[in-house]
Structure 1
């Protein structure tokens, strides 16, 4: 299956949307908004830095303010790697935002720290609750603490101009991918970009390749894990992937891809707006060409009410009007390329007929898996992600050979999971 998209076909619509949202203002200053404001103010913490993601936050603020006269929404940026610590620290001081938008896989870290308010009463009265699958509701001890308004996942972006130059089709197997990367490098291009950061983003991007080698968190196969580490380390040795990947979060590799000169990028559906705005070449997406056991996380941001929200009822109204609303979910799809979590919104033609979203939808149906893996205890999620992310990064950096990295991290995982 091959899909191809041209920047020119989408950039007009994206430009109109960007101009519409520009008047809404950007994110606030974290130091200026540690808590919610008065009864007519709502503070929302997020970690988005991409223009299209920030524009979505502005669009939600505008939508909510238009529907709630006199209410001001303050969007406050927090760096991704500081979000959890700042949320927990604020909660410990009896402060914090009204709404938190965070890495959905880390809900347990925040909930166990007492930083999130239960959503149970609000959810019980929510008239559209039956539109949401259980997989996007996160909680423990009988309470729900976070919801995902959309699903994000990884695919293989490709530069169609480079593939045409080297005479290959978008790959459908691992062997085809490696052959195409070799041809691209021989022609003077780079092979692929991805993130090997030693934390949860690295683990997120590592898991498809590791599971493709036969690793999963239920079986903890050390040999399979070493094979997965070794394969991608081999891409660095062959010159397909820059060793600088160990310093890149998921934003930088895609910026490298859209700048041109790179055949492939392992990245997500949320990059559609960035591709339309920044890529001056024809591009497309196919599912990651994994082996039979390969799996792709179904991720996305979680949304929650802060434990010390100044306006908890207004915070719920914000969630209901934006992330959980039919039209609000389509705003995320149009601007960021996220797949709606509502059953009705996911069947909207703008989703089902989109040439770029279709490969992600195919992956969702064929290879999608829970994020984090359900076998991992909630209290161990952050430690598991950190351990695997660090091992992945060390193996790709050449600091540790793949076999030693696998042996070390499996020993850690056995204690954390069992």
Structure 2
């Protein structure tokens, strides 16, 4: 692996194109690693500035340090800040001991040479679902342990569908979904909200439709990719989806659905708490593929990673901390707090037992794939940005879906 200044600078530039899709706000300053002695201080960075030391998450991190015989100095910061500061810290030789990072960022950090392989540390990943682990696997080696996964599905408003005479069980493919949207509009209500904003959130939301048509990210302008973009354009042109999808984040899209006027919202596991507060009955179905079945959806979520240290004697304690954070008992409590689906079948079963509403999300995660999987790695951001630009161009009417994706493919091919 390369660990040169040039590689780190390139990695920082790559990280600038990636943002977290399950929003966390805020940020804070970081500090250098603490003592290398057992019983000393170990540093831990995560993208959860919203959780302070008194939160369930903050208490778990502290407990895992105590159980390992050390004190943990935890710093929560915005996802993009964390990635950039981690690369700079590695360059300066003071990377944190443990770091929780958004899954698309793992490949960038691996290319920069700052993460350890889980196999080199003796961390056990055998029970992790392979499609979830795949987001942090590069050239056959995993570089972290997923703490959980979130993904996308379709929330629906039961009252709106009932009034329009639509049975959600009848929605099996794109044609049946479009027919349902037509009925909803005919009944005087609104169809579907989603995010098509010109950021990673837009790509994240477009991917189920792109993959659901059989699209390949290395061939953005194939007939399959064009079919997916044409579907979204038809919905906007017909008034089944609002024109403001071009500006909608996943948060503002959800706020539209929460008005009670929309039949469907493409959104994520992280909205379950808000769904319970919406004031109307809702359900969840998988995003359908073009010709039926569940479309592959992108995995969100973070990996617990171990940055490279000059003092390799620190790894024994670090391993204990990571193992504690990712134990079945702690995954069960953590993923409930974070609204994540656990990365192991055993814990997923416990989650569904405690909350049956999680069943469709467990199914969705089982069908999910990593955005950087399939060998894409650090190429993904150079494909994603042209893709979301194409979505913007087609939905705004400035280009046809074919022309927009032709331009996107040309741009992606130059990177």
TM-score above 0.5: yes
Match of 2:11 in 1: none
Asked whether 1:35 is paired with 2:32, we answer yes
Match of 1:103 in 2: 102
Separation (CA, whole Å) in 2 of partners of 1:268 and 1:204: 11
Please name the residue that 1:347 is paired with: 349
In structure 2, the partner of 1:175 is 175
Which stretch of structure 1 is more off in the superposition, 249-258 or 59-68? Answer: 59-68
Partner of 1:164: 162
In the superposition, the TM-score normalised over structure 2's length comes to: 0.78
Distance 1:212 1:166, change over 3 A: same
CA shift in 2, pair 1:327/1:235, >3 Å:
same
Task: Map 1:393-412 onto structure 2 (within 5 A).
Answer: 393-412=392-411
Residues 69, 370 of structure 1: alpha-carbon distance in 2 compared, 3 angstrom cutoff: closer
- What is the match of residue 356 of structure 1? 357
2:146 corresponds to: 148
| Closer/same/farther in 2, CA of residues 113 and 180 from structure 1, 3 Å limit | same
Q: What residue in structure 2 maps to residue 113 of structure 1?
A: 112
C-alpha displacement of 1:254:
2.4
Q: Shift of the alpha carbon at 1:325?
A: 0.8
Quote the Cα distance in structure 2 between the aligned partners of 1:29 and 1:267. Answer: 22
CA contact (8 A) 2:149 2:300 kept: yes
Match of 1:288 in 2: 287
Partners of 1:234 and 1:188 lie apart in 2 by 19
The answer to whether the aligner puts 1:318 opposite 2:316 as a matched pair is no
Offset of residue 108 of structure 1:
0.9
Answer whether contact 2:386 2:409 (CA < 8 A) is retained: no
Deviation at 1:286, TM superposition (A): 0.8
Equivalents in 2 of 1:309, 1:359: separation in Å? 45
The structure-2 alpha-carbon separation of the partners of 1:65 and 1:98, relative to structure 1 and needing over 3 Å to count, comes to closer
Look up the match of 2:381. Answer: 382
How well do the aligned residues superpose, as a CA RMSD in angstroms? 3.4
Q: Which has the higher mean CA deviation after the structures are superposed, 303-312 or 199-208? A: 303-312
> Quick one: structure 1 residues 99 and 370, their matched pair in 2 at CA, closer, same or farther if it must change by over 3 Å?
same
Q: How many Å apart are 1:304 and its aligned residue?
A: 1.2
* Map of 1:85 onto structure 2: 84
Match in the other structure for 1:7: none
Instruction: After superposing the two structures, state which structure 1 stretch, 252-261 or 147-156, moved more.
Output: 252-261
TM norm structure 1: 0.77
Deviation at 1:168? 1.6
Q: Given the superposition, is the C-alpha separation of residues 73 and 262 from structure 1 closer, same or farther in structure 2, using an over 3 Å criterion?
A: farther
**Residue aligning to 1:44:** 45
Which residue is equivalent to 2:208?
208
Q: Structure 1: which 5+ residue stretches go unaligned?
A: 1-26
- Distance in 2 (CA, whole Å) between partners of 1:241 and 1:55 is 38
Match of 1:297 in 2: 298
Contact 1:43 1:97 in 2 (8 A): yes
Task: Quickly say closer, same or farther: Cα 1:298–1:76, change in 2 above 3 A.
Answer: closer
C-alpha separation in 2, matches of 1:48 and 1:70:
22
Moved more, 283-292 or 266-275: 266-275
Unaligned 5+ segments in structure 2 are: 1-23
Measured after TM superposition, the shift of residue 48 of structure 1 is 6.9
Contact 2:148-2:343 at 8 Å conserved across structures: yes
Query: Structure 1, residues 46-71: CA drift from partner, whole Å, max 9, x if none?
Result: 1576x8xx966335335535645773
1:374 CA drift (Å): 0.5
1:63–1:40 CA distance, 2 compared to 1 (3 A)? same
Q: CA deviation at 1:191?
A: 1.9
Deviation at 1:220, TM superposition (A): 5.1
- In 1, Cα distance between equivalents of 2:249 and 2:114: 25
Tell me the secondary structure at the aligned position of residue 155 of structure 1. strand
| Per-residue deviation, 1:76 | 0.9
* Matched residue, 2:128: 132
Whole-angstrom distance in 2 between the partners of 1:206 and 1:272: 21
Q: Which residue of 2 aligns with 1:250?
A: 250
Contact 1:108 1:381 in 2 (8 A): no
Q: Confirm or deny: 8 A CA contact 1:42 1:315 kept in the other structure.
A: no
Q: How many residues end up aligned between the 2 structures? A: 379
